[in-house]
Amino acid sequence: MIQQRMFPVLWIAAIVLFIGFVLQVRADANTESDGKEWIQTNGPYGGHIRALYSTPEGVLFAGTDGAGIFRSMDFGDSWTPVNTGLSYEPGEGLSVAAFAQKRNMLYAGTTSGLYGSIDGGNTWQHVPTLDKYVSVSGIVTIGARVYIGTLQDGVWYSDDGDSWAPMNNGLESRRIRELSKIGITLVAGTRDGAFRKRFKENSWTPINTDFVPRSIDMGPINKARIESGLDASLPPQSPAAIRVDSFTAMENLLYIGVLMGGDDGIFRSDNEGDSWTRITSKEMVHTVEALTTFGTTLYASTYGGGVFRSEDSGDSWITVNDGLTDWTVSALLAVSEDTVFVGTLEGGIFRTTEDGNSWVEANTGLINTSVSELAVIGETIYAGIGDKLVHSSDGGESWQPVQIPSMPISYHFAALSEAGGKLYVAATKFTPGNVVGGIFQLEVEHSSLVELMTERVLFGIECLEVTGTTFYVGTQGRGIFGWEQGSDSWTNLGLKGNFVTALSAKKNKIYAATQRGEIFQLDSAGKTWKLISSDMVDSFISDLKWFGPIFYATSWDNGVLYSTDNGNSWTPLNDGLEDLSVMTIVTDGPDVYIGTYYDGVFQWIEDKRRWEPIGSLHLRVDSLAVLDGFLYAGTVGGGVFKIPVEK
């Protein structure tokens, strides 16, 4: 009987051992396929900062949009990632938008839920009940109670940190964008107004936000945010829409930042929202992003306009942007009368110890940059990170900014293109009330950009291709524009209404791809586009490259395809790929590499006719480059990584 009972057990054990052996063989095979691992370079530092917080002890925390949490123990001189225990989806990153502390419990709100730490952020534990999207500034403490504002599930509260309950009477179906307090009164901002809950009341009541006429005029800057793709979450406002983006309080005064089309601005109330006074400065032509106070000083930040300061409760304002290179400020933290930190959309953290009169970067160790473009000129690698172009000549050990003209104009770098040993840059530049796009050339000797040609209609730039002295720019909806160096104007080359995602040239022929999966060729006269392929219909084409006689296309849904007949017919090339969301392709002689959304980087192995992974890199890879025996990967939220490759 014992032997009969033991037989199934032994059989099961044998199966388990066999499965383990197979898995180990596969793991060993994967390891042997690359034999190396990716190394994160020292930058580029910076990135999108969503939240800044200081504990009572003066420890600083920064919540990023993709790289999780960074902590500074030296007042912002250096930062260290502290993400142990936090979870996120591969390819999506970890976005943190709120912090608060109650006694020894530090809370962090992420897109995947609420986390707590009792050891100063060294380790984090998930709060099981609140696996919800925590809103910006969405954690508030009043006495012993903690309140959490979520994007889709309203407001929750807890008195002990273990059990949580919803508190949404009067907030039904509201998307909480911001949660704050004035005294012991809670205030919540939503996409369609603000709400208030006094301490002993059982329900939320609407705050009177019917204070100014509402307009559907978006204004040039807000239109540019949408149409350039910089803020896809910002829809045109309906006449009735009032989106509340920020709160702060100073003694008995409540301040609110709202988005209402052409009537964006800051309002002040001395009666918890029953009536309001508009205190927006005429210089605040950009959308208000954040508000904060320290003592009697009020700070406001804007999208593209930088930081403003008021010493008289908002009756008058001055601009304080000296040294601030990214004027889209998404987070504010005032820690003393003269020391303020700001978090920006792409430039990371800046600090002032002069009451905002001058700013310096405070990003050492903080890597949350999204590198959309990589290019190599000589022994130098260049990286485009949205508002900045940086370069490294020491393998990524250090990164220096390329100087751009006409500061303090704000730039967004859209595409890089190397031609004839020179680097060209397509960028959008923002000035108050004006947005233009154009082409710049890198002056290597002085590491600066020279403006070649700009045009107002080019602010939705997506891609750039240079052939000889002719420049081609693909845009988001306006088609393709061409410019001959020395000419005084751009030419609209057609494809209007198309989101042009990629351009590639061969023997003076230009090919263009769209987000709908179509590929067009421009005729020799340069006047008519011929549709040569729709094999990738409804698939966003991410890259388009000629490598010798082979024409490659990569897409978000169909992986890699190639053509040997000038793009008239295409063959899938996806053996070895599970993730068919391919973002970029690059070649180094006979070697071909691709970067994917979820699964990292792959190399085409010709004798095996399949793609094989290179190391393990669980970040979205948007750009690749090869220099001095290393393959470099530009990631979303993780800066630049590198790995040695054999020649």
According to the model, what pLDDT value does residue 413 have? 87
Under 8 Å between Cβ of 263 and 308: no
Burial (0-12, 13-18, 19+ Cβ within 10 Å), 575:
middle
Which stretches of the chain drop beneath a pLDDT of 70? Answer: 1-35, 89-92, 209-241, 260-263, 405-409, 431-433, 525, 647
Q: The tokens of 202 are what?
A: 């059982």
Q: Tell me whether strands 621-627 and 448-455 are parallel, antiparallel or unpaired.
A: unpaired
Give phi and psi for 254, each to the nearest 5: -110, 130
What value does the mean pLDDT of the chain take?
Answer: 84
According to the model, what pLDDT value does residue 242 have? 72
Under 8 Å between Cβ of 269 and 223: no
According to the model, what pLDDT value does residue 90 have? 62
Alpha helices in 166-279 (DSSP H): 219-227
Residues of the chain with CATH 2.130.10.10: 100-364, 368-644
According to the model, what pLDDT value does residue 640 have? 97
Q: The tokens of 641 are what?
A: 């990584």
According to the model, what pLDDT value does residue 9 have? 33
> Would you identify the CATH topology of the domain 368-644?
Methylamine Dehydrogenase; Chain H (2.130.10)
Q: What Å distances lie between residue 222 and 192, 238, 256, 540, CA to CA? A: 18, 14, 19, 26
Report the alpha-carbon distance of residue 179 to residue 267 in Å, rounded: 17
Cis ω before 644 (30° cut-off from 0): no
Report the alpha-carbon distance of residue 267 to residue 624 in Å, rounded: 47
pTM for the full model? 0.81
Q: The tokens of 242 are what?
A: 């009032």
Under 8 Å between Cβ of 428 and 228: yes
According to the model, what pLDDT value does residue 562 have? 93
Q: Residue 13 is inside which H or E element, if any?
A: helix 2-34
Q: Which amino acid is at 307?
A: V
Question: How many helices and strands (H and E) does the chain possess?
Answer: 2, 58
Residues in a beta bridge with 561:
553, 572
Under 8 Å between Cβ of 466 and 443: no
Q: Tell me the CATH architecture of domain 100-364.
A: 7 Propeller (2.130)
